[in-house]
Structure 1
């Protein structure tokens, strides 16, 4: 097929950018002719590799003209405004491309959020929307324990998600879509039920050259080692991990915790000081990929209690190294991890931060006391990780897409 990918972020770096990039590469490997339209900001990164040209992937860069350019400020609120107008401009920019390249399928892939419509759905070709996330959420009983500045962010996000679900332009996107790919069940809840028949669950995250190791070291002779890798942000649940670790320290002072990841860890360290575990935590800061891989191999459990994660690539990476994962049973990690390769803590309505800390400590202690369970999870985790290779992800996605394309109702649009 001749496929047009709309990928605002598309480059062989970063989490969001790598989604568009790997979909393009794997679709080309499957024999499709792939054209990608991406933001002009990706050009410096794309020019550093020839992988796409070797496979015949045509990447076209597009940026807004004139006075709208000043809106582009990476990772800011103004970038979301820029992106909305970028989508409008893209509709007109793509017209000649669709015609000249005889495009058969249009696939909006990034940004992967349900809140912003894509106007490419107005073309006559079958339109794929997603994978999209952004609807991930957690009980208010946990939110209310957050500092006021973080609680405000969460309440604003809830309001934006609710308003977005009523957006007529989004309703148009859903109505015109051939298939809607949702990263999580949480996001599916924001899509009107009348469109659920064409919604499918697909995470849309994977690994490329990540090794899945065959054998795992037995660490049971030493101290039990916990690992957290990720930005030290409140919505990543790092405070829940610290509080759970504080409870565990009262029972098992021999357990260690290493926290690594780029970003300001100031608030997380304040929490650790409050619960008197700051000095027994190893704060590793930003580490290289090689150092992170070494930590995966030397640790016994990866703890990632993220509260609203649409993806969770670090969970997949952990499984590649045979490292069991403890997470909350919500969002992306809750769908990546199953009971054979990790531990999922239920997020029941009304559960509190205090209770979550206790349950995290209980779950870790249970695994320490059952080394055979840990070993079985390690083995099953490596098997589970294989399903998240980009080759398998893209093949699975387009198996879903093809099943819808062959339905009679999509012979014409």
Structure 2
């Protein structure tokens, strides 16, 4: 089976003393919190890690015993209370708002200033070999630490970072959800520390081909590590449901029911099989598009084979993925695609759009990539793929097994931590430079010509 060249060679890598910045890091949290903790925990198994997090998360991290050498809690006092109030009042607890990313800028800067004041003496005294800013993952949220450490005494590394994905044109789904603030993205480069973060960093770790393309001027210190998400290999099933892979196709979508997720394209593409009772489609999640999708299912005369269970506990979502044959995930604009990681790990064959994070993760032996063209062509391609899998259960079964193997070996938190470890060893002069190029840079360049572009973000001196 073809697998990406990830350059993993750090089995006997020297132990580094890492000061790891991860404001949002909580094993009991979601989104960035869980990403921060999971990645930091695996790095702590390879190196000596001192974790710098928000004070509210210290107790939760200590209770998990993640193997950290030290945990430093940072509090912003009244600023924290103001941030929490604004998040509830204006952002309605919506973690996915682009406006929230802009709003968070000032609070992340304040957090790192406090962290620098608290830990500066230890850094200067030589207690650490390097500083790694792990989260936030947004590329437009800079780090003052890069500027503070521009003359040493230790190198600064940032990533995996993500973002900067342009908005596709010609899709009503994307037009409905695009926020006005995305047109102002280029203004970030005028914010304090925006230029120095990437200019002074010893290494930049990008989580997508699109992000690699955005920072291509730093190619000599730019590395690709797939997505900001990861999976736990212990969650991968030891055997597949229905080894013969016969019967009707079990289709699934998991995610927020927002316009840009384009679940309507999945419904239209699956409709021919659904009408003939050759497939069942479970749409896990909720959001403003749910009522529209339920009406569409009735209009297409497939409602009898489409289930909308709403949001489910994560453990049940994993069970549903393990019971599914195919993940239909035609999201038009997705950075990380964490559900694609989980689908591969659980044996569901992903059908994704060849754009953004999912397009980087999926390759031809474990899933299918639908070209970002137009609605009718994409629906036709989804229909073609599903008919192919319905006719060839043997191919489906092979791809499910190969996907599980691929997820275990290349998408696990452990595997990703080893990739990052190789980069950190190179930065500190204790290892060779790893070969970690983006897998889909050509497609990223081609797609930039047919999407709504935020102005190119450059970080000149």
What's the TM-score once normalised by structure 1's chain length?
0.86
**Residue equivalent to 1:396:** 419
The answer to which structure, 1 or 2, has the higher relative contact order (CA under 8 A, 6+ apart) is 2
Specify which of 96, 106, 128 is matched with residue 118 of structure 2.
Answer: 96
Q: Which runs of no fewer than 5 residues in structure 2 stay unpaired? A: 1-15, 88-92, 434-461
Pair 1:42 & 2:57 matched: yes
Equivalent residue, structure 1, for 2:76: 64
What CA RMSD, in Å, does the superposition of the two structures yield over aligned residues? 2.7
Give the C-alpha shift of residue 248 in structure 1: 4.6
Does 2:30 correspond to 1:26? no
The answer to whether the 8 Å contact 2:39/2:413 transfers is yes
- Partners of 1:43 and 1:61 within 8 A in 2: yes
Where does residue 164 of structure 2 map in the other structure? 135
Aligned mate of 2:263, from 238, 243, 249: 238
Change (3 A) 1:399 1:286: same
* 246 and 382 in structure 1: CA distance in 2 versus 1, 3 angstrom threshold: same
Deviation at 1:300, TM superposition (A): 1.5
Within the candidate set 372, 375, 392, 2:394 is matched to 372
> Once the 2 structures are TM-superposed, how far is the Cα of residue 107 of structure 1 from its aligned partner?
1.0
Match of 1:327 in 2: 352
1:339 matched to 2:364? The reply is yes
Q: What is the number of equivalent residue pairs in this alignment? A: 395
**Equivalent residue, structure 2, for 1:296:** 321
How many Å apart are 1:165 and its aligned residue?
Answer: 5.2
Please say if residues 137 and 331 of structure 1, whose CA atoms lie closer than 8 Å, have aligned partners that are also in contact: no
SS at structure 1 position matched to 2:134 = strand
Distance (whole Å) between structure 1 residues aligned to residue 176 and residue 249 of structure 2 = 37
Aligned partners of 1:94, 1:236: CA distance in 2, in Å? 39
1:200 paired residue number: 223
2:244 and 2:397 in contact (8 A); partners too: no
From 147, 152, 155, the counterpart of 1:122: 147
Select between 38-47 and 307-316 the one with higher mean Cα deviation: 38-47
Q: Are 2:282 and 1:268 equivalent residues in the alignment? A: no
Give the conservation status (yes or no) of the 8 Å contact 2:203–2:427: yes
Q: Per the alignment, do residues 296 and 81 of structure 1 end up closer, same or farther by CA in structure 2, a change over 3 Å counting? A: closer
Question: Secondary structure of 1:325's match?
Answer: strand
Could you state the TM-score of these two structures normalised by the residue count of structure 2?
0.78
Q: Classify 1:369/1:232 alpha carbon distance in 2 versus 1 (closer, same or farther; 3 Å).
A: same
Structure 1: runs of 5 or more not aligned: none
How do 1:212-223 residues align onto structure 2 when only pairs under 5 Å count?
212-216=236-240, 217-218=242-243, 220-223=245-248
